Amino acid sequence: MRSLSLRLALGVFALVALSIAPSLAQKTEPGKTILLDAEDLASVTQRADKPAPGKWWLKRDAKDWGATKGNILMTGMPNDKPIPKDKLEEWQVIPADYYVPYRLPALEIDPKAKGWYRIHVGMYHEALPVRARLLAHLSGEPFPEYLQTPDRTTAKTAEIYWKAADLTGKRIHIAQPPAPMQHPDHGWIGGLTHIRLVPMSEKEVADARHETTLPPVSQRLFGMLDSTDEIFWWGTIEREDDVRAIIYRHQQAGFGRVYWRAWGSHLDTSVEIPEAAPRWTLADELRWCTKQRCKVGWMPYLTLPHRFDPLKVAVAYGKENDVEVHAWVRLTNLNREPYAEFWHQHPEFRLQTVSKDPKTGEIKRGTYPRVLSFAYPQVRALYVKVCKQLASTGTRGIMLDLLRHPPIAGYEPIVADAFKKKHGIDMESLATGKGGVDALISDPKINEHLSGYLEEFLKELRKELGNDIEISVRCSGPDKYAMRGADWIKSGLINTIVDGNWYSGNGPRPTIDATVSAAGTKGKAYAIAEDWDVDPNKSWQRRPGLLSPEAILALSKHYRDKGVHRFGIYESTEFTWHPELRRAMREAGWSYTAKPGK
């Protein structure tokens, strides 16, 4: 038995060695550094001395920008004026003149290199919220990935390290990303000062194995992909391949699972359920565009599912490429138009609030239109119907998101009457605060009462979907916002608790021990970080910029040691923009082996 085990171990080692150092079969001989200036990156027919449609702009007076030879190849003329303050607020369209009013043909660069090199790229940096970025890939790769300078860059240009690769017979392709969906036919601002290729020895190639190969799927991070941000506010999709490219970029960034947002205020990915589809007229489009001062509004986004189901495309591509794509449903977040038909048709199902005047004790009633109350069977039936449609895409899981705008139900008569029957007191007597939702979130009696409606929904959902679909619930620990995590894990109503970070900063979750305990050995405990940065060496104090490589690795280690099955990141799209963050997430995956039930 021992000799057989040894032979098996040696065989596994050999396979791993081949997978992590695929180049060693072809010996890598150190050569000379190759430096390609901006002038070398585009032919004379592809560039112009001034910004022009269809031409990359070769700006030759960029020494004060940090370009060594003074040359920088730009997609267009940057706009250095401050973005109007009202356009920096959430859900505001950045004006078109901060983008390039045309799209450019991609560059194809032959580096004439053999063997392994580290690829460094000199790039234009934009300090405005509209960061400069480009897309890049090597020949043979199915889709490009983003190149962007780190957020903390202060100069006009900076050299970034893209990746290590075997460049034998390869060409480097550089492209301009399309602008957000509100600005069709526009492109992103971006620029190149040079490409620097540094040769690697065999030892350096072997040492870089965590950079050049992906960790096992089960160890990789998971990402919460807000698809509306990815394809409406930050970019666009025009064909099915654009969806596949999104999943490919997440895979290359080290994500093994992606939660694709499919329901926010309506069903984003399909029009198969009329009452779940958005209500949006040409008059709405004109009103919205007039207010936002743009030519195009939500129409291209809303008509996309008439051509194909983005989630279905993402799920299929993920299955072929070792990325689990699950649907993400926000249960309590009807917070912006366009709203679903059901929301318009049934205002009587919206959550009701009460608030108590601190001086007079007078009770006032109100409505919380962000939430459709799960106390009503009709609301639960709608969400079951939505989840059933999402399951038809072939996804193996659905995340139910209780964060953002809880609670699950309010002071509706159907709720208040049942509460009084159970506890012998008026539910309204527990009302606190001006917002009218404080007690709904914090009072133990109310939380326990509302959990009954969520449990009823989960039972109805399981009845329709069966037990093969993984049901994840994102919450603030296992017991808040009507959750009874431990009970529902044991009963099989849910499989995974995703301990979210909303309302709690970005340090380690204070509820994570309870979440791991609730998941036990039957379920799974996940933990997620928001996208803002913290300093692990200063009590997780917040600092500017995206979550840094240092913080990603520190948070990952913390949750790994706590016994969390998987660590993930919110707004995952942002982390596909930066090569240094992609490397950190891959490294976090390589070092991640959870200890369930610790």
Partners of 313 in the β-ladder: none
CA pair distance 337, 264, nearest whole angstrom:
10
Task: Let me know: does 396 contact 326? Beta carbons within 8 Å.
Answer: yes
For 24-209, CATH number? 2.60.120.260
Nearest residue to 294 via CA among 407, 413, 185: 185
The alpha carbon dihedral of 400, 404, 406, 412 has a sign of negative
| Cβ atoms of 194 and 36 closer than 8 Å | yes
> How far apart are alpha carbons 87 and 165 in whole angstroms?
40
User: Whats the size of the chain, residue-wise?
Assistant: 598
Question: What pLDDT, in 10s, does the model give residues 278-304?
Answer: 999 999 999 999 999 999 999 999 999
pLDDT band with cut points at 50, 70 and 90 for residue 562: very high
Angstrom distance (rounded) from CA 213 to CA 17: 11
Residue 127 has a pLDDT of 86
**Residues 6 or more apart from 287 whose CB is under 8 A from it?**
none
Q: Please, where in the chain does CATH 2.60.120.260 lie?
A: 24-209
Select 217-590's CATH number: 3.40.50.2000, 2.60.110.10, 3.20.20.80, 3.30.450.80. 3.20.20.80
Among 267, 302, 308, CA closest to 282: 302
Instruction: Read off the pLDDT band of 596 (50, 70, 90).
Output: low
For the cut 60, the answer to whether the pLDDT of residue 23 exceeds it is no
- Tokens read off for 408: 């699950």
Amino acid (one-letter) located at 526: Y
- Give the residue-averaged pLDDT of 244-254: 98
- The amino acid at 68: T
Instruction: Report long-range pairs for 199-203 (Cβ below 8 Å, ≥24 apart).
Output: 199/28, 199/30, 199/31, 199/32, 199/33, 199/115, 199/116, 199/117, 200/28, 200/30, 200/115, 200/116, 200/117, 200/118, 200/164, 201/28, 201/30, 202/24, 202/27, 202/28
Left, alpha or beta for 494 (phi > 0: left; psi -120 to 50: alpha)? beta
Give the pairing of strands 566-570 and 524-529. parallel
Task: Output the DSSP codes for 564-589.
Answer: -SEEEEESGGGGGS-HHHHHHHHHHH
Q: Residue 503: which pLDDT band, with cuts at 50, 70 and 90? A: low
- Predicted confidence at residue 362, as pLDDT, reads 81
Domain with CATH 3.20.20.80 in the chain: 217-590
Question: Are 457 and 483 within 8 A, CB to CB?
Answer: no
C-alpha distances in Å from residue 139, one per residue of 110, 251, 255: 10, 18, 23
Euclidean distance between CA atoms 69 and 52, whole angstroms:
23
- Enumerate the β-bridge partners of residue 74: 57, 191
Q: Does the pLDDT value for residue 27 go beyond 60?
A: no
The predicted pLDDT at position 30 comes to 58
* DSSP track, 374-440: TTSHHHHHHHHHHHHHHHTTT-SEEEEE--SS--S--S-HHHHHHHHHHHSS-GGGG--TTTS-HHH
pLDDT band, residue 2 (cuts 50/70/90): very low
Average pLDDT, the chain: 92
Query: Which tokens sit at 523?
Result: 């379920």
CA distance 586 to 219: 9
Q: First CA to last CA across the chain, in angstroms? A: 32
